Every structure is written in C-alpha cells, then in structure tokens.
Amino acid sequence: MAQQPYNDNLTPKDLRVIEHARKKWEKVHDSIPKDVLPIVSEGNPVLRTPAEEVPVEEIVSPKIQHIITEMKKTLLTQSDGIGLAAPQIGIPLRIFVVSRKVFEGAHDDVVCINPKIVKFSKEKKWMEGEGCLSVRWVYGKVERSTKVTLRAYDEKGNLFERGAGGLLAHIFQHEVDHLDGILFIDRAKELEEADPEAIKKEHKK
Ligand code: ZN
C-alpha cells in the first residue's frame, strides 16, 4: 500500500481517484522505452526524501553531466512532459530540468541545479489542471504564487537568477517541491482522473 499524501484538502473521493489512476498506470508503465531510466511513481520513498545539494565543483563532473543527460532523455520520452526532477528517476539530488517545449524556439532543456526560490509573489492563484509524471493521470487545483524568482546553477556551473510568471512560475514551484519530497497531491484539491488518450497533448511536470 502506497503512502497517502498528507493533505487535509483531500476527500475520500480524491484518495480513490489517486488509487484508481495508480492501478491503471501500473498496467501500462512497462511500455516506457527500456533504454532510458524509468520515471518512479508516487509511493516510492525517493519521492518523499528531501534531495541533497550537488557540490558546485562537481556540476561539471562526468557523473553529474551523465545524470543530466539521462534526465533529458527520460523527459523526452514523455510527449506531454514539461519538467522532471532528479528524484523522479530515482536520484536524490537537487536537479530539475524544464523542457525546451516551454520556451519558444529553444533547442535545449533548461537545467536548474541547487535551485532556490528567492522571491514569491504575494499574489497566489488556485491553478487548475496541475499534474505530475510521477502521479500519472491525476489532476487537481493547486494554489501557487503567480510569480517567482529562482536562483540556481546551470549545467556549466554558473549561478543564475530568473524571474518567471505564468506556466514557468508554476513549473518552478512544482519542481522545487519535488526536491523537498513534496508532491502536488499534498497541496491539491478537487482531484480528477483524466483519460490518458484525451490528455496526450496536455502538460505534466
Ligand atoms: Zn512532478
């Protein structure tokens, strides 16, 4: 039995939605290509463990560069995926990748290492339709700041700061949560299970 999210907003119906979607996913997740690291699902303890910082001098090491390459490869297998955190492929390090799909004209994903949100807008909104590649086919409303500023290292080891609104602000908050062992279902309400065929074109993180 998987651990249930700690979330007072969730009703027994929400918990049934999670359980039902989980069973459906277990039946099909073997279809993921075998040459990439598979995405781990909710219930796996690695998703609940705060991830460790990457020593800055190790960012350019073959080991960390390999992890980043594997993360990009795994994310590319998910046509609807727009973000992936290292714990989602079983690696408890503070790294996440935002898909190039999010940035117009971009040819590579954006890598954020040891990210920290240094500013949250006071304005918050219950964003609809938040989902996660580790909680397949479950969607809900999550209250998020509409703007944030993220400070992180890029894959070359350079520190950068980036302000974000809209979808990118939403992704940053979702991915940093992953690195703290938090899943969106811990913050969500009004969960729904979507039909995998119907949502192929939608976005998950
Ligand atoms: Zn996620």
Q: Which residues are close to ligand 1, an ion, with C-beta < 5 A?
A: 132, 205
Q: How far is the CA of 148 from the centre of ligand 1 (A)?
A: 18
> Where does the pLDDT of residue 66 fall: very low under 50, low under 70, confident under 90, or very high at 90 and above?
very high
Radius of gyration from C-alpha coordinates of the chain? 16
183 in Cβ contact with 10 (< 8 Å): no
Q: Which residue has the higher pLDDT, 35 or 144?
A: 144
pLDDT of residue 9: 83
pLDDT of residue 8: 80
pTM for the whole thing?
A: 0.88
pLDDT of residue 4: 56
Catalytic residue flag (residue 130): no
Q: How far is the CA of 94 from the centre of ligand 1 (A)?
A: 14
Q: Hey, what are 91's tokens?
A: 């690696």
Q: Over 60: is that where the pLDDT of 40 sits?
A: yes
pLDDT of residue 44: 92
144 in Cβ contact with 188 (< 8 Å): no
Q: Where are the domains of the chain?
A: 12-204
Q: How far is the CA of 123 from the centre of ligand 1 (A)?
A: 23
Q: How far is the CA of 46 from the centre of ligand 1 (A)?
A: 13
**Partners of 113 in the beta sheet?**
95, 153
Minimum mean pLDDT range among 15-29, 41-55, 75-89:
15-29
Pick the CATH number of 12-204 from 3.90.45.10, 3.40.1790.10, 3.20.20.70, 1.20.1250.20: 3.90.45.10
Q: Over 60: is that where the pLDDT of 3 sits?
A: no
| Mean pLDDT value across residues 104-110 | 92
The residue from 175, 190, 193, 197 that is catalytic is: 175
> Where does the pLDDT of residue 1 fall: very low under 50, low under 70, confident under 90, or very high at 90 and above?
very low
C-alpha 34/C-alpha 26 separation (Å) is 16
Query: CA 181, 184, 185, 189 torsion: positive or negative?
Result: positive
Q: How far is the CA of 202 from the centre of ligand 1 (A)?
A: 14
| Mean pLDDT value across residues 37-54 | 93
